[in-house]
Chains A and B, each alone.
Chain A
Amino acid sequence: MRLKVAPRLNVAPRLPENRKVRAGIAILVLFALFALAGPFLVEDVFGLSATAIHTADGMQPPSGEHLLGTTATGEDVLAQLVVGSRVSLLVGLVAAVISTTLSVLVGVAGGYLGGTADALLTAGTNVALVIPSLPLLIIVASYVKGRGGWLTVALIIGLTSWPWGARGKRAQTLSLRRRDFVTAAEMTGESRWWIITRELIPSMAPLISASFLSAVVLSMFADAGLSFIGLGNINLTSWGSMLYWAQNASALARGAWWWFIPPGACIALVGIAAGLINFGIDEIANPRLRKPSRAVRRRAAAAALRTPEEAR
């Protein structure tokens, strides 16, 4: 029988009480629902199509018939936005799974094992950190262009975006590895692999989930950027490919704001959600960043008004 000593039960399952974190999670959940159920709603219930081309209807501003207007070739922007959310989110999720897994393995293993293994892993992380990732992403994506769909893009993003996370997780591991629960596990003769996977990684769950969320968002940004310059899969409807086609048809010069503002705004909203979550997590980790709640401030103000005698 194996002893469970990691202090994990009190962290993972509860929803954080921080309001910023909650707001951020709510926005992300909303988008996830959008991506899951939206395409059915739009196509089967409202009868809109993301790919139907009505050239006669091109470049229509928003109206009752097309709530967000149409593209140059007459596709419905709203339908594209909803259908495209799925691809964008999928790329973000898959890339984030890849990069988070890599960063956890490299960071935690390096931080825990120490010595030569750590020196090698840290050197590798540092090198990967200083080689600019977007140009690398662009080069690799343009070689594999046309081969493989969104999965290839997700794979490339995932493989180039792990070093930041690895660095953070190594730092966290360094502070955890001398704690009692790790020592206890070492005393009972558990293997290093067991300690890494069953003790260290679970106790870092909040940090890992936070960095996973920001990896999702950064991957979505990267995917949108790649698609925008025509890499990635531009024939698949996604927020990034919408921006590509809008740019391609000079939507800006023609004043067709309804074509590129919605996909960009969706990407931005996801970014804001991640920003809220990150900010909230900083506040949880560092209570000084927190603004005192209104009740506390009122009490403090009242206490300041009271004379010393009253306070006593």
Chain B
Amino acid sequence: MAADERVKDRPGRRVRLGAARYFVQRLGFYLAAAWIAVTLNFLLPRLMPGDPASALIAQMQGRSALSGEQIASIYRLFGDPGEPLWSQYVTYLGQVAHLDFGLSVAFFPTPVWEVISAGLPWTIGLVGITAVLSFVIGTAGGIMAGGRAGSRTDSVATPGAMFLNALPTFWIALLFVLVFGFQLAWLPTGGAYDGDLTPGFSAAFIGSVISHAALPALTIALGWSATWFIGMRNMMITTVSEDYVLLARAKGLGRTRVMFRYAARNAILPSVAGFAINIGNVVGGQLLVEAVFAYPGVGYLLYQSVASVDYPLMQALFLMVSLSVLAANFLADSVYGLIDPRAREGRA
């Protein structure tokens, strides 16, 4: 009895200890990655050929007279050439810690951080909801199609998903603007809500937000569900012929139950890992979609900062996007470590 308990207990405890070590190790990795992203953000403008600071100042003075503050925020970004690199780096780290990125050129004299915090909620809402929705839809579809490979659903949906997966997202966005925005005039194609509404919890405002988000969300969701669909289908096909699945079916368990409770549980693991590592791609892909729909999130801000050569805003956006992708990756990795003990054994 006592021996039995020890045998039963021991693997459990080992898993729990392993999980802690796994989290610490993952946390270390993401902290290192964050430090590299921050440092990259510091080095990029300084590694560029020529003298972007003077070029930018000259270019801006062509348009209008520069205030001392503007010049100061450009030097804050590119560094004072008179200062040694390491002390520039220390100053820069201090600024990042205080979210002090200087003033935006395009939205002068608004501080960069204020511009970004106005855009972040829109992106998090749009991309967060669509990324999760398309993962659920795509994965569920992949389970159905892969569980019955060769069925009618499979032979229609799989080529369809392949086709969607092969199209550039921003071009789908352009097509949607043309068809649903201009030709059929069903949905608005720009902004996040009607300009004449005041933001608040009114039915009119919420309805307006939803109708403005519909097309960009649909664009992102189509491409991403297709990706998850294909990955999940392929894993399902491999998993359904495993011995334990065959055994479950031989026992006479229901088809749906075997498909979801036995096969899909294991087949989904690579998709979850893929979801983690693809968050960066979702964010990247949505930048262009936001630009097409003039959706006021960080993607559209990045687009505007490129168009108006707003380096301070551009740099800070890159840093924010990188850090949030890293944070999301850490979360997804942690979930993966919880559901798949093999992931904790090192290599993954």
Contacts and interface: CB of A to CB of B under 8 A. Distances in A.
Interface stretch (A10-18, A91-99, A141-149, A199-207): A141-149
Nearest to A221: B168
A118 B52 CA distance: 37
A138 interface: yes
B288 A225 contact: yes
B48 A225 contact: no
Nearest to B146: A289
A144 B234 CA distance: 41
A272 B317 contact: no
A262 to B, nearest CB: 11
B166 A272 contact: yes
A231 B326 CA distance: 26
B303 interface: yes
B335 interface: no
A131 B33 contact: yes
A143 B45 contact: yes
B52 A130 contact: no
A142 B306 contact: yes
A135 B234 contact: no
A282 B146 CA distance: 14
Contact of B171 (A255, A268, A286): A268
B45 A288 contact: no
A213 interface: no
Contacts of A292: 150
B281 to A, nearest CB: 8
B219 interface: no
B166 A133 contact: no
Interface in A181-239: 221, 224-225, 228-231
A34 interface: no
Interface in A126-180: 126-127, 129-136, 138-140, 142-144, 147
Contacts of B170: 224-225, 228
A274 B165 CA distance: 10
A127 B36 contact: yes
A288 B52 CA distance: 55
Interface residues of B, number: 61
Given A139-B314, A142-B306, A225 B182 contact: no
B29 interface: yes
B185 to A, nearest CB: 12
Given A229-B303, A230-B307, A272-B166, A288 B238 contact: yes
Contacts of B68: none
B217 interface: no
A299 interface: no
Contacts of B237: 286, 288-289
Contact of A135 (B162, B175, B302): B302
A288 B241 contact: yes
Contact of A252 (B45, B174, B321): B174
Nearest to B322: A131
A78 B175 CA distance: 19
A130 B306 contact: no
A61 interface: no
Contacts of B325: 130-132
A40 interface: no
A138 B287 contact: yes
Interface in B305-324: 306-307, 309, 311, 314-315, 317-318, 321-322
Contacts of B167: 268, 271-272
Contacts of A133: 280, 284
Contacts of B149: 288-289, 291
B40 interface: yes
Interface string A243-257: 100010000110101
B32 A136 contact: no
A62 interface: no
Interface string A54-94: 00000000000000000000000000000000000000000
Contacts of A132: 280-281, 283-284, 321-322, 325
B37 to A, nearest CB: 6
Given A252-B174, A288-B238, A143 B48 contact: yes
B166 A274 contact: yes
B184 interface: no
Interface in B135-193: 149-150, 155, 162-163, 165-168, 170-171, 174-175, 177-178, 181-183
Contacts of A230: 306-307
Contacts of A286: 234, 237-238
A221 B285 CA distance: 11
B283 A130 contact: no
A260 interface: yes
Contacts of B44: 139-140, 143
B168 A275 contact: no
Contacts of A147: 49-50
A224 B288 CA distance: 11
A138 B303 CA distance: 9
13 contacts: A126-B33, A127-B36, A130-B277, A132-B281, A135-B317, A143-B45, A221-B168, A228-B170, A243-B174, A247-B174, A271-B168, A272-B162, A279-B230
